[in-house]
A and B are shown apart, each in its own frame.
Chain A
């Protein structure tokens, strides 16, 4: 062939690790539109709008105070219960929402994916970003409660390590996306996983120090919990704003490496599935 200037080559084989960053960048407006859509659609035809995002963690916190703080009597390391639970719930809600959104990428967008080509990674990327808005709203609630406790002078110590907060969020986001993408790639073929996901994420919360401090654990259980890559994030956050928990550089490094490996596996499976997923979904 005398023509070498093909711009698009479609073939069955593709490299193992293939993310076309240039292409992804070209579709940046779609990324923004997806975020905008997610946000618009949630508030349409609701009376309370964004308030729902606050009501939900508030009620959950009250419930946890009753069950875990009251009935079970689990320690909160001397931190006021509402603060302790809200801190955990705010972070966990973000992780859980970002994970669920990523794990539904293929099944929920089957219709669009079946009609038009665009870099599929746009969808999970925008999902983890649009969920940030929800997280920020819930963070407001946390800050409000925090300020209240500050004013009445009860225990609450903030320290410099809270500056790591953006880093924690990035870690959580990509942990969620990595895990979610692997699940979403598998669900296109084995639908059973959707059932697993919905209760799996609930169980996983109990394997993460969300509603209890690591200081209450010991022995084998402690070792197992330390293997959970999310543990250093939750502990670090509570250390930064509440003064309980612990800041572990080693743990955070472990979590970051874990995240990178997870993300690599996710991108490989995702790009492989994205090619032929329309035939199996």
Chain B
């Protein structure tokens, strides 16, 4: 029987929204009077609400986490899954003792090392070697421990040549590698990792994931891992916990948790497609993005629909030569289909300065499956530049086409669309 490594009991974390630090002196005094002197319940705790960002709450206090109770066994690798703002990072912060819970208690056995960021405490003026010592001791290693592991750390990070160069001369990739290398050679009983793997090149990511696997499998350590990368969760973790609006909505094996998340929790909030725009060139403004005539980011493609009409209108202060590029991705973030005609055919449309409108009528494959997908949208000049990027700008629900038995294909088992055969008889 394995032992409990971490026990979360009724953990709650209350946050005060808005500006903290001005005009709160009276609140502070009132709170202090009520709780410390009169021993009443904290008046500001009662009005906390669940953490749902989309609805505007009536109070200034919000529960980022509420009633979190679960156990983590020794040697488990637990993936914490949830949308942005579901409370994942708050949970890790509590466990890393960066901030204290408002209610409840966490008990843990062994040293906890948290990797909420790599290279914490790195100083740009110090050399790689000095920073290894700095970062290592912040993480709780002693000088001798670091000296003993210095060679392996340097080797893992691949920075031998630059060891005595100030870190400010490092590339960002090198800095990240160095930071992760130090963390990888910590030997805590419990390792807490927040999406730090999202940085670094592919080769290094592989190495980092491999190292994490060593940590959990080979040496019987407990790992808590937060990521949006469902593939990484599935391959690394043994268990999964799904958070939604600050509450645990599912726990179980990693595969089950990922499935639960994709089916229930991943649907994003309603809004407009153009809200998702990031990295926009300043000379361009986008007035409207519409799919099938609707600007909402919740798009349903009915069984009989043959086209996906995409229309972008906006204004440019410089003449541009632009094309639409888009990818349809499944909820694990794998690209299922792409519209990259601009690059493929080497074409793009020229627009003079002023108002512009680009529309595309995209043909939907005949045997498209039933399922949920989302769209990453770009406006670009093929191979030259992106005018804007709108990741996850709309959720796409395909009802799926069907003939014959009247049942559509199921995206998760049958693929994005069904293959068709050519019959010679006709």
A interface list, Cβ under 8 A from B? 1, 3, 5-12, 14, 26-27, 29-30, 32-33, 36-37, 40-41, 44-45, 111-118, 189-191, 275-280
Q: Is the CB of A41 within 8 A of B126?
A: yes
Which of B117-125, B209-217, B363-371, B411-419 touches A?
Answer: B117-125
Q: Is the CB of B4 within 8 A of A113?
A: no
Residue B166 interfacial (CB < 8 Å): yes
Residues of chain A contacted by B319 (CB below 8 angstroms) = none
Q: Is the CB of A9 within 8 A of B107?
A: yes
CA distance A280 to B28 in the complex (A): 13
Residues of chain B contacted by A14 (CB below 8 angstroms) = 100
Q: Is the CB of A33 within 8 A of B99?
A: no
Q: Is the CB of A280 within 8 A of B125?
A: no
- CB of B138, distance to nearest CB on chain A (Å): 5
The 7 closest A-B pairs by CB, nearest first: A117-B97, A30-B137, A275-B100, A10-B106, A6-B107, A44-B125, A8-B108
Residue B280 interfacial (CB < 8 Å): no
CA distance A27 to B136 in the complex (A): 11
Given contacts A116-B139, A278-B99, A279-B99, contact A33 B134 (CB under 8 A): yes
- CB of A132, distance to nearest CB on chain B (Å): 20
Residue B53 interfacial (CB < 8 Å): no
Identify which of residues 65-99 in chain B touch chain A, using a CB-to-CB cut-off of 8 Å: 93-99
CA distance A5 to B108 in the complex (A): 9
State the total of A-B contacts with C-beta under 8 angstroms: 123
Q: Is the CB of B98 within 8 A of A9?
A: no
Q: Which residue of A lies closest to B11 (CB)?
A: A10
Which of B14-22, B250-258, B287-295 touches A?
Answer: B14-22
B interface list, Cβ under 8 A from A? 3-4, 7, 15-16, 20-21, 24-25, 93-112, 114, 116-117, 120-121, 123, 125-126, 130, 133-134, 137-143, 166
CA distance A164 to B3 in the complex (A): 57
Residues of chain A contacted by B7 (CB below 8 angstroms) = 1
CA distance A268 to B300 in the complex (A): 58
A-B contact pairs, 17 of them (CB 8 A): A6-B107, A10-B97, A11-B105, A26-B142, A29-B143, A30-B138, A30-B140, A37-B123, A37-B126, A37-B130, A40-B125, A114-B116, A115-B120, A116-B139, A117-B114, A278-B93, A278-B98
Q: Is the CB of B108 within 8 A of A112?
A: no
- CB of A86, distance to nearest CB on chain B (Å): 31
Q: Which residue of A lies closest to B3 (CB)?
A: A3
CA distance A278 to B16 in the complex (A): 12
Interchain CB contact (< 8 A) of B108 among A7, A44, A276 = A7
Q: Is the CB of A27 within 8 A of B140?
A: yes
Q: Which residue of A lies closest to B99 (CB)?
A: A278
CA distance A242 to B59 in the complex (A): 64
Residues of chain B contacted by A189 (CB below 8 angstroms) = 20-21, 24
CA distance A190 to B96 in the complex (A): 26
Q: Is the CB of A116 within 8 A of B114?
A: yes
Q: Is the CB of A118 within 8 A of B123?
A: no
Residues of chain B contacted by A45 (CB below 8 angstroms) = 125
CA distance A10 to B95 in the complex (A): 8
Q: Is the CB of B107 within 8 A of A12?
A: no
Residues of chain B contacted by A1 (CB below 8 angstroms) = 7
Residues of chain A contacted by B114 (CB below 8 angstroms) = 115-117
Q: Is the CB of B112 within 8 A of A8?
A: yes
Q: Is the CB of A33 within 8 A of B133?
A: yes
Q: Is the CB of B97 within 8 A of A279?
A: no
Interchain CB contact (< 8 A) of B106 among A3, A9, A278 = A9
Residues of chain B contacted by A41 (CB below 8 angstroms) = 123, 125-126
